[in-house]
Amino acid sequence: MRTRTIALLVTLACTVAGLAVTPTADAATRRYAVITFHKNYANTFRSTLTWKVFRVRDGQRTTLVSRSWRAGSGYFRDSTNACKRNRGWLPDGRYRPTLFRDYHGSIIKGRAIYLGAKRCANGTMRTDLFLHTEQGAGSRQCPNRRGDQACRWEYPRINDYRSFGCVKLSPGDLKELYDAWRRSFPLGSPANVSVRVR
């Protein structure tokens, strides 16, 4: 009886040890996303924003999703000085984004991605940087009136790709980006989503 009990305990210990060291499929696989703003030096209003989701399994990376949209940044088509506050496009580098379903800012409203602040090459701090569009609360378009309205996308009559340094997309493109994010990751600031500007 004593011999059978010891054998049973040894078998159980080996089984538990085996469970502890055996890697699971989830442990060997991870997913992450990168939003990249590709600067167009010839025309800042015709730059490109991409969304890519990657899977890394056993050291091998695979692209699962790849989308791209037109985007603008900067106040003039040659606003390529990232150190010019309220005029130049946003500085190069990496950002930790925060996704909002309905942001309630004084100008920026509805779906938006907050990027935070970033120092440019000469040390100037650029603040309140976003990926956004022109729309009202709840991501709704306000009625069409004379003049430029921050709550309505009016391109091509008015160049709404122009910005004070943020990245601007059309409302439809921003919704596609928002939906792509939500299909794979939660709202807020998940650690596996990053923004790259270059």
pLDDT, tens digit only, all 198 positions of the chain: 544 444 444 343 434 344 444 444 455 899 999 999 999 999 999 999 999 999 999 999 999 999 999 999 999 999 999 999 999 999 999 999 999 999 999 999 999 999 999 999 999 999 999 999 999 999 999 999 999 999 999 999 999 999 999 999 999 999 999 999 999 999 999 999 999 999
**Torsions phi, psi for 53 (to 5 deg):** -110, 130
| Whole-number Å distance between alpha carbons of 15 and 5 | 15
Specify the pTM.
0.86
Q: Using CA atoms of 166, 169, 173, 178 in order, give the dihedral in degrees to the nearest 10.
A: 20
Starting at the edge strand found earlier in the chain, the sheet holding 167-168 runs: 98-104, 109-119, 125-132, 167-168
Distance separating alpha carbons of residues 109 and 60, to the nearest angstrom: 39
Tell me which residue has tokens 């004379």.
146
Identify the residue whose tokens are 């940087």: 129
